[in-house]
Amino acid sequence: MSQRLREVWNRTREACERGSYRVGGRDVDLTGLLAVMRTGTRLHLPEDTAGAVVPEGGHHTRFEVTGESTLEAVRRLAGRGRSRSGWRR
């Protein structure tokens, strides 16, 4: 990871731990957003999935490794739009 990305990560982590960050001379409160995020977050440990039932029918899942940034990938995927049956390929 580059030094720049490490610094971004450190600032992000510190803001989440503090519950706020400062930009342009003003404080931005993150406490409400972090509370909502934590409410919707679940930790599933390997031993918790032992009795899990796999739904019938399943879904086709495809993974790709590409040489693009996250924003480039989002733009590409968003450009695909939706078809009646789901995401177009």
Residue 86 has what pLDDT? 52
The model's confidence at residue 61, banded by pLDDT at 50, 70 and 90, is confident
User: 44 or 12, which is more confident?
Assistant: 12
Interval 13-55: pLDDT, tens: 999 999 999 999 999 999 999 999 999 888 888 888 777 777 7
Question: Domain limits of the chain?
Answer: 1-42
Q: What is the mean pLDDT of the chain?
A: 84
Residue 45 has what pLDDT? 86
Residue 16 has what pLDDT? 94
Whole-angstrom CA distances from 60 to 11, 12, 55, 80, 86 are 37, 34, 13, 17, 11
